[in-house]
């Protein structure tokens, strides 16, 4: 402990990464300070403790996705004799929002209780800003400020939705995922702009809840993901009723009697439509403006605002670290921010030497047909190893329960295998319970299993995951 400073470690940003750092450090008896402050969205939406994931990210998103899936099951319930179920009944938006917010507030309360009752943690609901390399300015909601000092500083301020800067009043005329999960009024006919996983997930569950949804996509779906899988997701969403406008972006958005008149160019022709809601999901930017980074010498990428940190999470200032979504080149996921935070504290205080590995991280896109993957996409594998050096196995299948109500569409799985050593370097699964299926195969890929190992696994029957072991069709 260095008595020169008030805190051994001070964290700016109490999301998935920041809270992990706080927790791990307090367990080792360190004096820990945390500043977490939510800047309201342009519509004034605010939320409680825990950061993006529990408030405006993973958790409310998954609850809404699950609600849409539950609605889909109404068809199977009717087909299998359950009485009193109307598969075409309407959904009530406000009931869902209230339930989602009830669950979110439960998480906030657990966080609040933990932050105020745990020895060793001092929590400030204040905006943090670097004053010098050991001093943090803390500014409250009324603009009053004070200063604290720390030996180490960890920046974990996350990211926020991006807005285009060439559409006048765009912040007032659109909403983002920051607003959607607590939206007081049903979104109605919605234009989702973007093709990120956030865009497709929101479009998917809004369609499932019964809204008229169009997705406007500038170029490809799910950049960075396997494109065959991405296109299959789009096709399945179309079957479910989501409309797509490809190859364009909005030129203008205007308010017309409370609705949104959106104009765009397609093949040189101006087109337009009127929507109740325009949901922007065109990407996220690091929340690093006004953090005082430049004045302290913490280097950032000037375009994205992301902090540049090395593999040990160290910034250009020797006692200032950065983790999570605000760092350049990191996977923007809750579990990566958490593991990164854990490893940082182990390295700082308990002789740990592991850095965060960002390869072979399993993830799932919660579109109506869920997509789980780990390892190389087909494009990335072909680029790195050459198509002639790969074997790509695929399987198309229909889950047993889909036959009750003749669901349309097909599920699909793909394994990418290196020819020289038979190691499976890519796993892709499009089907029910993708997160649950993919988590197990994540271990398989991490352990560098061979295709022959999978061939020796006896499948569980009847299941969808059995499609992945003993896959024989070579693309
Ligand atoms: P955050 O969780 O964003 O936390 C940063 C915190 O810092 C916030 O509370 C912020 O208000 C605060 N802050 C910012 N500036 C300051 C300041 N100057 N002073 C004090 N406090 C400040 N990930 C998954 O793994 N699975 C999913 O299914 C998933 N779904 C998602 C769905 C949506 C709609 C979104 C938006 C994200 C989703 N994510 C998902 C991503 C995941 O939420 C993030 O990767 C994760 O929350 C990043 O954690 P973090 O600690 O870097 O930042």
β-pairing, 363-365 vs 371-375, is antiparallel
| Inter-residue contact 200 to 217 (CB < 8 Å) | no
Distance 326 CA to ligand 1 centre (A): 9
**CB 154 near ligand 1, within 6 Å:** no
What is the mean pLDDT of the segment spanning 453-471?
A: 95
Integer angstrom CA distances of residue 319 from 132, 247, 263, 316, 353: 11, 46, 49, 9, 17
Q: How far apart are CA 50 and CA 283, in angstroms?
A: 21
- pLDDT grade for 367, boundaries at 50, 70 and 90: very high
Cα separation, 55 vs 38, in Å, equals: 11
Which residue has the least CA distance to atom 43 on ligand 1?
53
CB 129 within 8 A of CB 291: yes
State the closest ligand 1 atom to the C-alpha of 129, by its place in the atom list counted from 1: 18
| Rounded distance between C-alpha atoms, residue 383 and residue 390, angstroms | 11
Nearest to 17 by CA among 410, 334, 260, 310: 334
User: Which helix (H) or strand (E) element contains residue 147?
Assistant: strand 145-155
CB atoms under 10 Å from CB of 63, counted, come to: 17
Residues near 87 by Cβ (< 8 Å), separated by ≥ 6? Answer: 74, 75, 77, 78
Q: ω into residue 417 within 30 of 0, thus cis?
A: no
Q: Say yes or no: CB of residue 341 within 6 Å of ligand 1.
A: no
**Mean pLDDT, to the nearest integer, of 92-118?**
97
**What atom in ligand 1 is closest to the CA of residue 180?**
34
Report which of 258, 240, 260 is spatially closest to residue 250, judged by C-alpha positions.
260
Check: CB of residue 157 under 8 Å from CB of residue 12: yes
- 470 pLDDT band, cuts 50/70/90, is confident
Q: 337: Cβ below 6 Å to ligand 1?
A: yes
Q: Which residues are designated catalytic?
A: 461
Instruction: State the sign of the Cα–Cα–Cα–Cα dihedral 293, 298, 302, 307.
Output: negative
Q: Give the mean pLDDT of 411-430.
A: 98
Which residues are bridge partners to 416 per DSSP?
392, 426
- SS3 at position 151: strand
Position 14 scores a pLDDT of 98
Predicted confidence band of residue 472 (pLDDT cuts 50, 70, 90): confident
Residue 385 clears pLDDT 80, i.e. is over it: yes
User: What is each CA distance from 445 to 100, 333, 422, 450, in whole angstroms?
Assistant: 34, 19, 12, 9
Measure 154 CA to ligand 1 centroid, in angstroms.
Answer: 15
- From the CA of 58, give the closest atom in ligand 1: 30
Return d(Cα 392, Cα 386) in angstroms, integer: 12
For residue 390, list its beta bridge partners.
418
Question: pLDDT-derived band of residue 374, with 50, 70 and 90 as boundaries?
Answer: very high
- Among candidate residues 324, 318, 319, 320, the one with its CA nearest the CA of residue 306: 324
DSSP codes of every residue in 202-242: HHHHHHHTT--EEEEESS-SSTTS-HHHHHHHHHHHHHHT-
Q: Is the pLDDT of residue 1 over 80?
A: no
Cα–Cα dist 232/165, whole Å: 32
Cα 435 to its chain centre, rounded Å, is 13
Q: What is the mean pLDDT of residues 296-317?
A: 96
Neighbours of 387 (CB within 10 A): 10
How far apart, in Å, do the first and last CA atoms of the chain sit?
59
Ligand 1 and 38: CB distance under 6 A: yes
CA 44 to CA 410: how far, in whole Å? Answer: 42
pLDDT, tens digit (0-9, with 9 covering 90-100), for 114-151: 999 999 999 999 999 999 999 999 999 999 999 999 99
C-alpha span between 475 and 406 (Å, rounded): 27
What is the structure's pLDDT at 3? 85
Q: 366 falls in which pLDDT band (50, 70, 90)? A: very high
Mean pLDDT of 51-55: 98
Residue 129 contacts residue 139 (beta carbons within 8 Å): yes
* 336-350 pLDDT per residue, tens: 999 999 999 999 999
pLDDT band at 473 (very low <50, low <70, confident <90, very high): confident
Is the distance from the beta carbon of residue 16 to the nearest atom of ligand 1 less than 6 Å? yes
Q: Are strands 250-256 and 259-266 parallel, antiparallel or unpaired?
A: antiparallel
Q: Whose Cα sits closest to atom 15 in ligand 1?
A: 157
Read off the pLDDT of each residue in 450-459 and give the average, rounded to a whole number.
96
Backbone angles phi, psi at 246, to 5 degrees: -100, 150
Q: Is 13 left (phi over 0), alpha (psi -120 to 50) or beta?
A: left
DSSP string covering 333-379, please?
A: -HHHHHHHHHHHHHHHHS---PPPP-TT--EEE-SSS-EEEEE--HH
Backbone φ and ψ for 26, nearest 5 degrees, come out as -65, -30
Mean predicted lDDT score pLDDT of the chain: 97
pTM for the whole structure: 0.97
Backbone angles phi, psi at 415, to 5 degrees: -120, 135
Q: What is the pLDDT of residue 239?
A: 97
Q: What is the pLDDT of residues 157-187, one digit of tens each?
A: 999 999 999 999 999 999 999 999 999 999 9
Q: Which two tokens stand for residue 193?
A: 């702009």
pLDDT at 2: 83
**How does pLDDT run across 263-275, given as a tens digit for each residue?**
999 999 999 999 9
**What is the arithmetic mean of pLDDT over 233-240?**
98
- pLDDT tens across 348-361, in order? 999 999 999 999 99
Does 365 sit in the ligand 1 pocket, CB within 6 Å?
Answer: no
Q: How many CB atoms are closer than 10 A to CB 301?
A: 14
Q: For 95-142, give the DSSP string.
A: HHHHHHHHHHHHHHHHHHHHHHHSTTEEEE-SEEEEEETTEEEEE-TT
Query: Are residues 324 and 13 in contact, defined by beta-carbon separation less than 8 angstroms?
Result: yes
Average pLDDT (249-275) is 97
Do the bridges between strand 411-418 and strand 390-397 make them parallel or antiparallel, or are there none, so unpaired? Answer: antiparallel
């Amino acid at each position: 402990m260095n008595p020169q400073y008030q805190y051994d470690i001070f964290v700016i940003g109490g999301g998935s990464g920041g809270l992990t750092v706080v927790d791990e450090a307090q367990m080792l008896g360190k004096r820990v300070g945390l500043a977490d402050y939510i800047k309201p969205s342009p519509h004034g939406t605010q939320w409680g403790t825990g950061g993006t994931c529990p408030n405006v990210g993973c958790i409310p998103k998954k609850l809404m996705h699950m609600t849409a899936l539950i609605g889909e099951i109404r068809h199977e319930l009717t087909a299998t004799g359950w009485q009193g179920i109307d598969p075409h009944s309407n959904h009530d938006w406000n009931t869902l929002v209230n339930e989602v917010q009830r669950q979110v507030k439960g998480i906030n309360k657990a966080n609040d209780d933990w932050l105020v009752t745990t020895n060793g943690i001092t929590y400030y609901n204040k905006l943090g800003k670097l004053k010098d390399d050991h001093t943090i300015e803390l500014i409250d909601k009324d603009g009053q400020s004070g200063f604290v000092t720390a030996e180490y500083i960890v920046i974990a301020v996350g990211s926020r939705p991006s807005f285009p800067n060439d559409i006048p009043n765009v912040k007032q005329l659109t909403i983002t995922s920051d607003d959607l999960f607590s939206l007081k009024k049903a979104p109605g006919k919605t234009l989702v702009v973007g093709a990120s996983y956030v865009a497709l997930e929101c479009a998917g569950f809004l369609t499932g809840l019964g809204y008229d949804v169009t997705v406007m996509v500038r170029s490809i779906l799910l950049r960075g993901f396997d494109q065959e899988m991405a296109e299959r997701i789009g096709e399945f969403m179309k079957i479910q009723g989501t409309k797509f406008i490809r190859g364009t972006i909005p030129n203008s958005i205007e308010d017309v009697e409370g609705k949104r008149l959106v104009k765009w160019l397609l093949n040189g022709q101006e087109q337009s439509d009127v929507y109740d809601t325009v949901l922007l999901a065109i990407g996220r930017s690091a929340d690093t403006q006004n953090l005082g980074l430049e004045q302290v010498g913490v280097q950032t990428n000037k375009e994205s605002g992301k902090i540049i940190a090395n593999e040990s999470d160290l910034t250009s200032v020797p006692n200032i670290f950065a983790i999570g979504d605000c760092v350049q080149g990191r996977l923007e996921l809750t579990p990566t921010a958490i593991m990164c935070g854990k490893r940082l504290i182990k390295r700082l205080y308990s002789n740990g030497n592991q850095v965060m590995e960002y390869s072979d991280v399993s993830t799932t896109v919660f579109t109506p047909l869920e997509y789980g993957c780990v390892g190389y996409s087909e494009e990335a594998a072909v680029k790195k190893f050459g198509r002639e050096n790969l074997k790509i196995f695929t399987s198309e299948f229909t889950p047993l329960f889909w036959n009750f109500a003749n669901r349309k569409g097909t599920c699909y799985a793909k394994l990418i295998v290196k020819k020289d050593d038979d190691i499976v370097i890519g796993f892709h699964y499009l089907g029910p319970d993708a997160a649950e299926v993919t988590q197990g195969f994540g271990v398989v890929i991490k352990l560098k299993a061979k295709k022959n190992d999978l061939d020796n696994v006896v499948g569980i029957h009847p299941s969808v995951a059995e499609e992945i072991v003993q896959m024989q069709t070579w693309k």
